[in-house]
């Protein structure tokens, strides 16, 4: 018989810490958002269609589902389909192969153990349109820790806006530069982060994150958290800030 921990061990690298039913330990994730989800998501999401963008092991998709939403989760088919800075691509591809990293494996295990109905769709956020997700539009989208991996974060936000119903809500929980936030609280700045972190392009301060949303056409933009630092392995320890914003009521 397969023990609960054996199913977890079938994935050599978990990104998310996720509590699974049936006994056994939570998944040994690199980042643990369990202490923050109750503050960032409404308790009751019944009747809503929700989209999780860049789901990885699915922590946020499963949290949305647990609150009653019907959830679609998008991600790339392979890690190296990401917009990694070309200067680092060869090394990152070799590292991903050496560590046996595979997108979707953790999601599949957690999905099965949770008895989840979240639908995972392979879709690049830079190609996201209603047609790419079955002609659907969503009442709520969640976007976490993704924009810093994109050359063009504003394009991604515009695409997310395009799949929301008029007045639909985005909750965005993105990495920030705390240094630039403290140094220039009112000046929108994004640090070019590629030399410091091989996966990253732009690391915005809080003011820039707000203006990303504004430039992409969102309205009712509101910061809904202070800077947050979830428990994480040292290489992924980072500050985040959460915003809520809406697609215009009339597109």
> Rounded to the nearest whole angstrom, what is the least distance from the CB of residue 1 to ligand SAM in the complex?
31
> Rounded to the nearest whole angstrom, what is the least distance from the CB of residue 248 to ligand SAM in the complex?
24
Pairing of strands 70-75, 49-53: parallel
Q: Identify which of residues 19 and 167 has a Cβ nearer to ligand SAM in the complex.
A: 19
Q: How many residues does the chain have?
A: 251
> Rounded to the nearest whole angstrom, what is the least distance from the CB of residue 241 to ligand SAM in the complex?
13
Q: Identify which of residues 151 and 183 has a Cβ nearer to ligand SAM in the complex.
A: 151
> Rounded to the nearest whole angstrom, what is the least distance from the CB of residue 172 to ligand SAM in the complex?
10
Measured N-to-C along each axis, helices 206-215 and 153-162 cross at an angle, to the nearest 10 degrees, of 50
* Residues whose CB falls within 8 Å of the CB of residue 74, separated by 6 or more in sequence, listed in order: 51, 52, 53, 54, 55, 120, 121, 122, 123, 125, 128, 133
Q: Identify which of residues 7 and 37 has a Cβ nearer to ligand SAM in the complex.
A: 37
DSSP secondary structure of 157-211: HHHHHHTEEEEEEEEEEEEE-HHHHHH-TTS--EEE-TTT-TT-SEEE-HHHHHH
- Residue 145 to residues 2, 116, 162, 240, Cα–Cα distance (Å): 33, 23, 20, 8
Q: Identify which of residues 83 and 92 has a Cβ nearer to ligand SAM in the complex.
A: 83
> Rounded to the nearest whole angstrom, what is the least distance from the CB of residue 2 to ligand SAM in the complex?
26
Q: Identify which of residues 29 and 168 has a Cβ nearer to ligand SAM in the complex.
A: 29
Task: Please report, as ranges, the residues that interact with ligand SAM according to CB under 6 A.
Answer: 54-56, 59-60, 74-76, 82-83, 103, 124-126, 144-146, 149
Closest residue to ligand SAM, based on beta-carbon distance: 144
């Amino acid at each position: 018989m397969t023990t609960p921990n054996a199913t977890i061990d079938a994935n050599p690298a978990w990104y998310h810490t996720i509590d699974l039913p049936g006994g056994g330990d939570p998944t040994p994730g690199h980042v643990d958002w369990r202490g923050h989800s109750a503050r960032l998501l409404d308790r009751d999401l019944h009747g809503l269609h929700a989209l999780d963008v860049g789901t990885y092991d699915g922590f946020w998709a499963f949290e949305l589902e647990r609150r009653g939403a019907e959830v679609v989760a998008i991600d790339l088919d392979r890690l190296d389909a990401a917009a990694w800075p070309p200067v680092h691509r060869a090394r990152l591809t070799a590292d991903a192969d050496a560590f046996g990293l595979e997108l979707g494996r953790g999601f599949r295990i957690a999905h099965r153990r949770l008895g989840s109905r979240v639908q995972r769709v392979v879709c690049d956020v830079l190609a996201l349109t209603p047609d790419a997700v079955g002609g659907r539009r969503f009442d709520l989208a969640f976007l976490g820790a993704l924009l810093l991996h994109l050359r063009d974060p504003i394009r991604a936000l515009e695409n997310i806006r395009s799949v929301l119903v008029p007045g639909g809500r985005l909750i965005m929980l993105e990495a920030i530069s705390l240094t630039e936030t403290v140094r220039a609280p009112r000046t929108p700045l994004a640090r070019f982060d590629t030399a410091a972190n091989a996966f990253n392009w732009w690391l915005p301060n809080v003011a820039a994150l707000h203006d990303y949303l504004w430039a992409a056409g969102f309205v009712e933009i509101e910061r809904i958290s202070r800077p947050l630092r979830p428990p994480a392995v040292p290489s992924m320890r980072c500050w985040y800030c959460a915003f809520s914003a809406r697609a215009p009521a009339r597109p």
